[in-house]
Structure 1
Amino acid sequence: MVPQWSILLCLPAFTWTTMLRDRQALGSGSPPLDPRTSLTDKARQYFTAEELAKGRAYARGRYLLHGVQMALTLGFLGLLILSPLSARILDLSASVAGGRVWLTIGVFGLLLALLYDAITFPVNLYGSLLREHAFGLSSQTFAAWAWDYTKGALISAVILLPLLMLLYAFIRWDPVRWYLPTWVIIMLMMSLIAELSPILLDPLFHTFRPVQDQGLVERLRALTDRAGLTVGPILEIDASQKTKKTNAYFAGLGRSRRIVLYDTLLAASTPEEVELVVAHELGHWKRHHIWKGMAISAASTLAALWLIARLLTAAADSGRFGFTHPADPMTLPYLLLIVFVLNILTTPIHVAISRSFEREADLESLRLSANPRAFIAAEVKLARSNLADIEPPHAMVWLLYTHPPVLERIAVAEAFQVRQGQ
């Protein structure tokens, strides 16, 4: 549960981990679907009218909350840039830091983060706890949720505030080419976090244990052998302490690589369905998505930082925003606004790449398992347990969906089933 303000500091570098560790349901690709009227018929073939309505209400409320969060963020950054508030917070930061420039940056960033979290806390509380309870998806108490939220904020501060101070040290060192060392540090840090997160960070939020069903473990080991991938432990996570949703994911790189299964998934699924979920994740590795994602992220992060450097210099030269040098701490709200706007503009591209990867992974999962019936059953169960929007608006898919909609995934398995003659 990492507050959104922290993501703004190095958002482009999160692209590849978001694409490959998104803990939603399976993704897949499909041939063109029938017209909209037949989609409704297809949906009713697998889901009841009540399930369709509940999934629609849940998902579309999430779309609205996403819009509210974006509006709050934009309004907050706009207020900092266009009002004296930012200057007053910076003066307070300098006083607390005793005039030390590097510490002033850290205190300034921390105060802005605390203010942003205070503004967005009601939305976060409602969206991630109260509303989840209202839809019967959460099993977490307020105290447990608040403790997770606090831990996420502390972890973000420990990691990102030193990076923020280092960023401004680079800008002071070279106001023109600061983006180059910044890019190197961001990519190294994101790779390090991806490697160490399963070992150091994830256990702070969940309890892990080896999967107890040895028959299932042997089945999944045989699956990974067929895929030609060596993985570490196959673990069960106590997701039921927080949610009633089901899922599974791969975590880590190299020696820290492991398979993690929600205990809710194990309780609700057959071994064949669990195998299909894991086969999907194996599909990402067979198609080298992690390396492709890292390459895309490296290129997009470098391009974004170069553009930010140019815009920051232009704003400083203009003198219109209360600062005349890129290293002035007053540039921070402006820098965050650029990152935020770039994120909005590039999200459709990022999620389109992610959907493409998910389609390839689904096809690989069908080839690995040769069990389209279990694929369909797993997809239907995941959609039900996670209250998926079975017929999402096309605009929302284009703007936000890292995975193709449920009916597309089912269509792929049905086509595979026909080719198999099942």
Structure 2
Amino acid sequence: MAPRRLALLTALLLGIALVLVLWLRIPWAPTPQVADPTAGLTTDQLGRADAFAAAIRPASVANLLLGLLASGALGLTRTGARWITAVARPLGGGWFWQVVLGTVLLTLVGRLVTLPLSGYGEVVRHRYGLSTRSWPLWVRDLAVDTAITAGLTALGLLLLVGLARRAPRTWWAWAGAGAAGLVVVGSFLYPVVIEPAFNDFTSMPEGQLRTDLLALADENGTPVQDVLVADASRRTTALNAYVSGFGSTRRIVVYDTVLDQLPDAQVESIAAHELGHVATDDVLTGTLVGALGAGAGVALLGWLLGSAPLLRRAGAPGAGDPRVVPLVLLLVAVGTLVSTPVQNGVSRQLEARADQHALDLTADPESFAAVMRRLAVANLNQPDPPAVWQWFFGSHPTTAQRVAAAQEWSR
């Protein structure tokens, strides 16, 4: 079989495996019937959430489309290929430096193109009291995120181009296996490598809340190594908590804003929700889905990069030539955009199951409903956003649905 057809067949088979995993591992339960779309929020609270959404959403969509347009302008013309060649010329122009420096350059260009919209978004968050970051801290966070993104992207592209140079017919198979492996490794390393780049974490002081959270984890059958407090208030007034890591890196993380604003019963309700993800192995499921998705995506990429017309348009003779980098970045961006509603649809189902787990574990639907309302108010979330927006961008059930789930549990 021709390598390009084999790549497409592999992508299809991995896609089928991905669908099976989603079918077997995801609780495809119906959403609860919502009697009150306001979720009990006041008129002022609803108006504030609506005004924030009206101010931030158009900029968010424009940011997304502008970034995609910039990727298209570089990936579907010879401009990007010329940039890749030129940026590495001072260092001899070898393929290694073309990939590394070219990736850094394109990442920087992408950030600069969308910088005005990102800055506007931060202005809006300041205006509504959601962001507490100073502008120097905002610039620092943007620089760190850009550096991490450029570094990880360059690593992946070095793997792809290097393999394509050594194994022109089967590079996509080796690269797909490597991408799946990186997803697994990343799940283990993210809590101890990436998270500390943006927040400082300290162990929660000894006290009743810490004792209760550790006991809740034990009762859940998923003991944690520590309960950490993140200094989120340096950047935001938003409320959040989560459980991250596997085994020795598993810990409950609570924003300091949560401790400042919520009573202990509501903090425990949030933690119970997060522990629900652990009890049902959602992190493992996400890792497996991510690995299969990465493998299928790289195989599909192998099929696409076998298209001579597409390569000619990009100014690259093949996948083993560094000038293919802009085209690869474009195809990844398009694939990410297309898969977003699928990923969020899966996420909503997992979050709904974790909500039910929290209600079962704490047997306190009043605290659960109360904290969902507090989260909506603090994070400026509309309790019942437009259906299209929720379908595409909503990673959690709406506040109205979560409050309705608590009421159903009570009945």
**TM-score normalised by length of structure 1:** 0.86
Question: Counterpart in 2 of 1:20?
Answer: none
Structure 2 vs 1, CA of residues 83 and 325 (structure 1 numbering), >3 Å: closer, same or farther? Answer: closer
Question: Counterpart in 1 of 2:405?
Answer: 412
Q: What's the CA shift string for 1:57-91, capped at 9, x where partnerless?
A: 22344332231122112211221144442243123
Aligned-residue CA RMSD in angstroms?
2.1
The amino acid that maps onto 2:271 is V
Question: Counterpart in 2 of 1:224?
Answer: 217
Task: Report deviation, 1:245.
Answer: 0.7
Question: Counterpart in 1 of 2:282?
Answer: 289
Q: Secondary structure at the match of 1:402?
A: coil
Structure 2 vs 1, CA of residues 388 and 164 (structure 1 numbering), >3 Å: closer, same or farther? Answer: same
In 2: Cα distance, 1:371 partner to 1:317 partner: 57
The reply to whether residue 344 of structure 1 matches residue 337 of structure 2 is yes
The reply to whether residue 91 of structure 1 matches residue 90 of structure 2 is no
Q: Secondary structure at the match of 1:46?
A: coil
In 2: Cα distance, 1:91 partner to 1:412 partner: 56
The amino acid that maps onto 1:33 is Q
| 8 Å contact from structure 1 (residues 195, 253) kept in 2 | yes
| 8 Å contact from structure 2 (residues 157, 325) kept in 1 | no
The reply to whether residue 353 of structure 1 matches residue 346 of structure 2 is yes
Matches within 5 A, 1:1-400: 31-34=31-34, 39-40=36-37, 43=38, 46-127=40-121, 129-212=122-205, 214-315=207-308, 319-400=312-393
The amino acid that maps onto 2:33 is L
In 2: Cα distance, 1:105 partner to 1:215 partner: 53
Q: What's the CA shift string for 1:183-226, capped at 9, x where partnerless?
A: 23223333333323333332232222121251001111111111
Question: Counterpart in 2 of 1:11?
Answer: none
Structure 2 vs 1, CA of residues 59 and 315 (structure 1 numbering), >3 Å: closer, same or farther? Answer: farther
User: Which of 1 and 2 has higher RCO (CA within 8 Å, sep 6+)?
Assistant: 1
Structure 2 vs 1, CA of residues 187 and 81 (structure 1 numbering), >3 Å: closer, same or farther? Answer: closer
| 8 Å contact from structure 1 (residues 316, 324) kept in 2 | no
Q: Secondary structure at the match of 1:319?
A: helix
The amino acid that maps onto 1:134 is R
Q: Secondary structure at the match of 1:261?
A: strand
In 1: Cα distance, 2:53 partner to 2:84 partner: 39
In 2: Cα distance, 1:412 partner to 1:299 partner: 32
Task: Report deviation, 1:29.
Answer: 7.2
| 8 Å contact from structure 1 (residues 234, 259) kept in 2 | yes
Structure 2 vs 1, CA of residues 387 and 364 (structure 1 numbering), >3 Å: closer, same or farther? Answer: same
Task: Report deviation, 1:316.
Answer: 5.8
Structure 2 vs 1, CA of residues 313 and 180 (structure 1 numbering), >3 Å: closer, same or farther? Answer: same
Structure 2 vs 1, CA of residues 212 and 344 (structure 1 numbering), >3 Å: closer, same or farther? Answer: same
Q: What's the CA shift string for 1:35-77, capped at 9, x where partnerless?
A: xxx544xx1x621111112112223443322311221122112
Q: What's the CA shift string for 1:338-375, capped at 9, x where partnerless?
A: 22222222211111111111111111110000000000
Structure 2 vs 1, CA of residues 271 and 97 (structure 1 numbering), >3 Å: closer, same or farther? Answer: same
The amino acid that maps onto 1:364 is H
Q: Secondary structure at the match of 2:233?
A: helix
The amino acid that maps onto 1:58 is F
In 2: Cα distance, 1:264 partner to 1:174 partner: 52
In 2: Cα distance, 1:175 partner to 1:411 partner: 55
In 2: Cα distance, 1:196 partner to 1:90 partner: 31
Q: Secondary structure at the match of 1:330?
A: helix
The amino acid that maps onto 1:149 is L
The amino acid that maps onto 1:225 is D
Structure 2 vs 1, CA of residues 417 and 172 (structure 1 numbering), >3 Å: closer, same or farther? Answer: same
The amino acid that maps onto 1:165 is L
Structure 2 vs 1, CA of residues 190 and 296 (structure 1 numbering), >3 Å: closer, same or farther? Answer: closer
| 8 Å contact from structure 1 (residues 316, 326) kept in 2 | no
| 8 Å contact from structure 1 (residues 56, 390) kept in 2 | no
| 8 Å contact from structure 1 (residues 29, 363) kept in 2 | no
Q: What's the CA shift string for 1:360-414, capped at 9, x where partnerless?
A: 1111110000000000111111111000011200011111111010000000101
Aligned residue pair count = 385
Task: Report deviation, 1:259.
Answer: 0.6
Give the share of equivalent positions with the same residue, in percent: 30
Structure 2 vs 1, CA of residues 150 and 299 (structure 1 numbering), >3 Å: closer, same or farther? Answer: same
Q: Secondary structure at the match of 2:368?
A: helix
| 8 Å contact from structure 2 (residues 240, 255) kept in 1 | yes
Structure 2 vs 1, CA of residues 74 and 153 (structure 1 numbering), >3 Å: closer, same or farther? Answer: closer
